[in-house]
Copies of this chain bind each other. A is one copy, B any other.
Amino acid sequence: MTSTSLNSWEAVRAELMRRITERVWRPGERIPGEAELADEFGCARATVNRAMRDLAEAGLVERRRRAGTRVRLDPVRKATISIPIIRLEVERRGQAYRHKLLERKLEPPTAVVASRLDLDRATKLLHVTSLHLADSRPLIYEDRWINPAAVSDVLDEPFDKSSPNEWLVRNTPFTHGEIAFSAENARAGESEQLGVEAGSALFIIERTTWTGATPITTARLACAPGYRLLSEI
C-alpha cells in the first residue's frame, strides 16, 4: 500500500527506489509513466521527474523519450570522487602540510606529453616537479607540464610558496579535463623522493585540463603507499 501524497521529491525517490530494490518493478521492466505516478502519488509531474532524473543519474533506471523508463538490467552505479587541492586534503586529516619545489625549467615536452596536450614538440613548456609532504613525510610526488601560452604570468611564478597544484587551481579555471587512476611500481627517482623501497606500489593519478580548445596542463601524481581514494556509492 502506498501512502497517498508524497509531496517531496526525495520521498518520491525513496518510494521508487523501494519498488526497485524490492522487485515490485523487476529489472528490465517498464515503469509507469510520469503522469500516472504523479497522479498516484498526488504530486506534480515535475516532482516525479526530479526523482526519476536522480535515479537515472545514479544508474538505476534508464529513460528514453517515447520508450519510457525501465529498471536497468545491469545497474551501472556511479561513484563521484572529489578532487581537492592536496594541501587541503592533508590539513583536513589534521596533518601539517608542506610543499617542496624540486625542479622548475622551461623545456620542450616529451613525445608523450606533447601528444597528451595536443601541442607541437617545438614549443617549450614549463616543467615543474615537486613534493607534497604530510607531517614531514613525503606523500605525493608531482610531475607537471604547464602550457605558458595558456596561463598568463605562470613564467613569473616561482612556485616556492604554493605548489603548482594549488596555484593552478586558484588561478586558472578550466572548462574540462581527463583524469585516470592506475597503479605502478615506483621508478628509481620516485622511490628516492618518496622515501620508499624501489618497486613499491604507487597510486598514480594522471590529470589533463583544458580551457575550451586550449590545453592548460598535464600532471602525474605518484602517491606514497597507503594512499586511498574513498567514495560513497
> Chain A interface (Cβ within 8 Å of chain B)?
17, 20-21, 27, 59-60, 73-85, 88, 169-170, 173-185, 199-204, 207, 209, 211, 223, 225-233
Instruction: State whether B203 touches A169 (Cβ < 8 A).
Output: no
B82 touches A59 (CB 8 A): yes
B residues less than 8 Å from A200 (CB atoms):
185, 201
Bound complex: CA A3 to CA B164 (Å): 36
CB distance from A61 to the nearest CB of B (A): 11
List B contacts of A82 (CB < 8 A).
59, 76-78
A175, B17: Cβ atoms closer than 8 Å: yes
Query: In the complex the two chains form, what is the Cα distance from A175 to B21 in whole Å?
Result: 8
B178–A203 touching, CB < 8 Å: no
Q: Is the CB–CB distance between B79 and A81 below 8 Å?
A: yes
A80 in complex: contacting residue of B80, B181, B204, B225, CB < 8 Å: B80
Pair B202/A199 contact, Cβ less than 8 Å: no
Other-chain residue from B77, B83, B176, B177 in contact with A76 (beta carbon distance below 8 A):
B83
Establish whether residues A183 and B183, one from each chain, have CB atoms under 8 Å apart when the complex forms: yes
- Shortest A117–chain B CB gap in Å is 16
Are B179 and A203 in touch, CB under 8 angstroms? no
Residue in B17, B74, B170 whose CB lies within 8 Å of A169: B74
CB distance from A13 to the nearest CB of B (A): 11
